[in-house]
């Protein structure tokens, strides 16, 4: 029997036999545990206030310079909001009254730490005591502040703060909002400072380049005068000028993204580095891209080239242009996944394990996003270079002066365009550095605190109630396990005994064996039919169990009284009589004989006890009780002298004397586990049949009975399961009766 079948059996046993016990135990556990949980969960009063903020994961409009947008994914911002570092900053900014409330009126209790400290004290060791700031940090994160991003739209977060005083709850919520705003502003300022410094350097270089280009253009015009480009080449020159301007813009963006990526990697490297580890070179080269990244970047370059070519022929709304744009977006998503997998495999963006997980996620997401943007911009740059080179090749028909003029014109225009672009980017970077680009907005400040019920008390009461239910089911289930009753053939076979027959429970008392004629007169299958057929099967099983030597004397025994052994003796005798056997049923339950009352035989006639005492032949005491059936009564009162002779050879002689007068002797028995006298009789007969009452006889008692009989030298034939619920046998017998017996009766 596997685990689930055993659990099912135990639950069924509880429902059938121990419902009242389960209810009493459960109610008693509730009465005891719920008051204990109520008083054990006592804590300071709770006041809760809520603030609503907006974490913008994308701007309201597309920024002018997407590579410097301060917006991050919502999951990253929520991770920062729940991070330990932000909570530590909140503790540093909290008023003293709020900090004292966190330390003195605690809602969070670490049960494991309390148990560990109690164990340390028991061993005489010093318990572990956390610092006050560590206790306050745990209390703040575990019990005082909650973040809910599920009630509003995307980016809407509710910050709930709880405290034992209304003003303290407001202070905690306000401090969290203020620290988050300051942290976001600080991050944007640091990021913008790096961008500003790079842009200032780039702008100075572009100014010098633009001045040199303008000087060269003026010198050329002074030397050659005005040059007019042929009309056939003007469109190509204009397109080349636009392409080179776009290329200069893309080159500038790539350099800025590369600078930002280098700064993020250096920051991650500084966090990953251990204090004792030797310093690394800050400007170490980045690892080369993987084969997947190179393949996807090549595909992206080809798609960007195709898009540039299509834009010269069609509008932006043309289906072919839209199709290529969708394909570019798909390849960019694949490129982002490839970059993320490569970063996870090489560990290039991993921070130290001491850094909280939220901070590690923040760094990893930022580095992956910037590196993906770098690969995408590089692909666009390669596509523009190819287009510019193709346009230059188409201008080979111009004269030398015309080529120089168009080149200088393009350089001047490209330098001016790039100068204007960098100036705008520098202005945006300065705006970010001043903290003017906000990604955290306060929608609703903390309101008036309200008193709330103790969740800890509700949890404790719920836990106590659940524990009471478990106890209410567990105690009866435990008793059911220790007193598991015989209910299936598998229960008997698990003890190591074969099942000879399964007898159904009858509504008519006492159970009666129906002969063949009575069985055939039945119009439908009922419990009497099933009972009679089961006895016939038992008879055949005994006949076939020892074909060469059928047992001549059989003891029908059980562990306790009331399991149906006497009834089985009578009805089994009738079943053998139907088969032509001469049967003697012996009333050998010496303490409480019952067969004589059923068969209406006078109890005072001489019987087995008299034969044991006086060496009288038992054949003279046999009383005919039916066709081919006799009864050997117990006789008079079972005297101590007769009881003592049960252990002598005289008992064996009495049994052999009965077998001389019949083909089969069926002996009744006293309960083996209560009265051991019949163990001698079990050793004297040819075989023993054990009777187990379904739902009453326990597996443990049946095993004990088996052990006693085997120790006495008895030969066990098997077990008959008595009073099995008829519903479990009805289907088998109904099918048999409808498919075979009815056909036979036609």
> Could you tell me if residue 496 is left (phi over 0), alpha (psi between -120 and 50 degrees) or otherwise beta?
left
pLDDT value for 735: 57
β-pairing verdict for 623-626 and 629-632: antiparallel
Higher pLDDT, 301 or 10: 301
Residue 145: CB atoms within 10 A of its CB come to 21
Residues 265, 283: contact at Cβ < 8 Å? no
**What is the C-alpha to C-alpha distance for residues 13 and 9, in angstroms, rounded to an integer?**
6
**What is the C-alpha to C-alpha distance for residues 566 and 292, in angstroms, rounded to an integer?**
85
- One DSSP character per residue, 558-623 reads -SSTTSSHHHHHHHHHHHHHHTT--EEEE---SSS--HHHHTT--TTS--HHHHHHH---GGGG-E
Exposed / middle / buried, residue 559 (Cβ in 10 Å: 0-12, 13-18, 19+): buried
pLDDT value for 467: 92
pLDDT value for 278: 45
**What is the C-alpha to C-alpha distance for residues 278 and 282, in angstroms, rounded to an integer?**
12
pLDDT value for 68: 45
pLDDT value for 67: 43
Domain extents in the chain: 3-56+74-182+446-479, 194-224+234-276+288-440, 486-744
Give the up-direction half-sphere exposure of residue 464: CA atoms within 13 A in the CB hemisphere: 21
Q: What are phi and psi of 675, to 5 degrees?
A: -125, 110
Higher pLDDT, 550 or 65: 550
| Alpha carbon 445 to chain centroid, angstroms | 39
Residues 56, 155: contact at Cβ < 8 Å? yes
Strand partners, 631: 585, 623
Higher pLDDT, 428 or 596: 596
How sure is the predictor about 60, in pLDDT bands with cuts at 50, 70 and 90? very low
pLDDT value for 692: 93
- DSSP secondary structure code for residue 694 in this structure: T
* Of residues 108, 175, 115, the one with CA closest to residue 138: 108
Mean pLDDT across 97-114: 85
Residues 505, 527: contact at Cβ < 8 Å? yes
Higher pLDDT, 745 or 517: 517
Mean pLDDT (the chain) is 81
The tens digit of pLDDT for each residue in 728-737 reads: 666 555 555 5
Which uninterrupted H or E stretch holds 53?
A: strand 46-55
pLDDT value for 736: 57
Residue 77 DSSP SS3: helix
| Residue 58 in tokens | 């994308």
pLDDT value for 363: 62
pLDDT value for 48: 92
Higher pLDDT, 391 or 353: 391
pLDDT value for 294: 86
pLDDT value for 435: 55
**What is the C-alpha to C-alpha distance for residues 174 and 446, in angstroms, rounded to an integer?**
7
Pick from 34-48, 121-135, 188-202, 246-260: least confident:
188-202
**What is the C-alpha to C-alpha distance for residues 60 and 340, in angstroms, rounded to an integer?**
27
Mean pLDDT across 156-174: 91
| Residue 328 in tokens | 């570019």
The tens digit of pLDDT for each residue in 207-230 reads: 898 899 888 888 888 887 777 777
pLDDT at 659 over 60: yes
β-pairing verdict for 687-693 and 499-504: unpaired
Residue 1 DSSP SS3: coil
The tens digit of pLDDT for each residue in 393-444 reads: 887 777 888 888 888 888 888 888 888 888 888 887 777 666 555 667 888 8
Residue 72 DSSP SS3: coil
pLDDT value for 739: 55
Mean pLDDT across 319-339: 87
- Give rounded-to-5 percent helix, strand, coil for the chain: 60, 10, 30
**What is the C-alpha to C-alpha distance for residues 109 and 113, in angstroms, rounded to an integer?**
9
How sure is the predictor about 286, in pLDDT bands with cuts at 50, 70 and 90? low
What is the CATH superfamily name and number for domain 486-744? P-loop containing nucleotide triphosphate hydrolases (3.40.50.300)
How sure is the predictor about 556, in pLDDT bands with cuts at 50, 70 and 90? very high
Mean pLDDT across 463-480: 89
pLDDT value for 196: 80
Pick from 56-65, 257-266, 556-565: least confident:
56-65
pLDDT at 152 over 70: no
């Amino acid at each position: 029997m596997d685990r689930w079948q055993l659990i099912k059996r135990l639950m069924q046993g509880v429902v059938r036999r121990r419902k009242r016990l389960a209810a009493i135990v459960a109610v008693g556990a509730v009465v005891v545990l719920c008051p204990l949980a109520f008083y054990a969960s006592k804590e300071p009063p709770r006041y809760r206030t809520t603030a609503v903020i907006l974490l913008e994961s994308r701007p309201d409009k597309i920024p002018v310079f997407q590579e410097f947008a301060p917006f991050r994914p919502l999951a990253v911002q929520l991770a920062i909001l729940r991070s330990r570092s932000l909570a530590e900053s909140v503790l540093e900014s909290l008023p003293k009254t709020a900090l004292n409330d966190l330390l003195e009126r605690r809602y969070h209790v670490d049960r494991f730490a309390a148990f560990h400290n109690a164990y340390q004290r028991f061993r005489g060791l010093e318990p572990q005591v956390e610092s006050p700031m560590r206790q306050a940090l745990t209390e703040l994160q575990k019990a005082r502040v909650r973040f809910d991003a599920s009630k509003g739209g995307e980016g809407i977060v509710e910050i709930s703060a709880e405290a034992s005083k209304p003003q303290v709850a407001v202070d905690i919520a306000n401090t969290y909002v203020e620290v988050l705003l300051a942290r976001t502003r600080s991050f944007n300022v640091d990021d913008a400072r790096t961008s500003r410094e790079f842009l200032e350097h780039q702008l100075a270089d572009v100014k010098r380049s633009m001045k040199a280009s303008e000087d060269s253009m003026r010198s050329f015009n002074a030397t050659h005068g005005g040059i007019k480009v042929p009309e056939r080449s003007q469109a190509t020159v204009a397109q080349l000028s636009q392409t080179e301007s776009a290329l200069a813009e893309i080159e500038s963006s790539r350099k800025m993204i590369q600078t930002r990526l280098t700064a993020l990697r250096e920051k991650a490297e500084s966090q990953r580095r251990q204090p004792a580890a030797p310093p690394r070179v800050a400007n170490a080269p980045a690892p080369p891209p993987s084969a997947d990244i190179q393949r996807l970047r090549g595909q992206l370059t080809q798609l960007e080239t195709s898009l540039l070519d299509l834009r010269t022929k069609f509008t932006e709304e043309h289906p072919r242009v839209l199709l290529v744009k969708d394909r570019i977006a798909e390849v960019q998503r694949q490129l982002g996944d490839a970059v993320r997998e490569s970063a996870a495999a090489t560990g290039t963006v991993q921070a130290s394990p001491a850094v909280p997980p939220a901070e590690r996620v923040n760094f990893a997401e930022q580095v992956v996003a910037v590196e993906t943007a770098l690969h995408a911009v590089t692909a666009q740059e390669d596509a523009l270079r190819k287009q510019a080179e193709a346009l230059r090749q188409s201008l080979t028909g111009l004269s030398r002066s015309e080529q120089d003029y168009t080149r200088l014109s393009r350089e001047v225009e490209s330098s001016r365009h790039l100068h204007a672009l960098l100036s705008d980017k520098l202005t945006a970077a300065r705006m970010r550095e001043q903290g003017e680009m906000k990604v955290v907005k306060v929608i609703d400040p903390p309101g008036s605190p309200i008193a709330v019920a103790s969740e800890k008390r509700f949890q404790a009461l719920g836990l106590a109630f659940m524990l009471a239910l478990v106890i209410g089911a567990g105690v009866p289930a435990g008793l059911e396990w220790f007193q598991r009753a015989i209910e299936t053939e598998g229960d008997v076979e698990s003890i190591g005994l074969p099942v000879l027959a399964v007898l159904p429970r009858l509504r008519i008392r006492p159970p009666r064996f129906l002969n063949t004629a009575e069985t055939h007169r039945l119009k439908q299958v009922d419990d009497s039919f099933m009972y009679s057929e089961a006895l016939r099967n038992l008879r055949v099983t005994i006949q076939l169990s020892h074909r060469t030597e059928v047992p001549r004397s059989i003891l029908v025994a059980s562990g306790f009284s009331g399991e149906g052994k006497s009834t089985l003796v009578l009805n089994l005798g009738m079943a053998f009589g139907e088969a032509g056997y001469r049967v003697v049923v012996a009333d050998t339950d010496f303490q409480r004989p019952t067969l004589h009352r059923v068969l209406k035989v006078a109890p005072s006639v001489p019987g087995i006890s008299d034969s044991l005492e006086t060496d009288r032949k038992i054949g003279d005491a046999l009383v005919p009780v039916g066709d081919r059936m006799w009864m050997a009564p117990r006789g008079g009162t079972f005297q101590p002298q007769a009881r003592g002779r049960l252990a002598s050879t005289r008992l064996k002689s009495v049994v052999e004397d009965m077998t001389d007068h019949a083909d089969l002797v069926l002996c009744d028995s006293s309960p083996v586990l209560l009265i051991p006298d019949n163990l001698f009789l079990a050793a004297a007969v040819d075989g023993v049949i054990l009777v187990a009452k379904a739902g009453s006889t326990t597996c443990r008692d049946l095993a004990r009975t088996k052990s006693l009989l085997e120790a006495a030298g008895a030969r066990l034939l098997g077990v008959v399961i008595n009073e099995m619920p008829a519903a479990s046998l009805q289907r088998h017998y109904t099918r048999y009766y409808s498919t075979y017996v009815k056909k036979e009766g036609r």
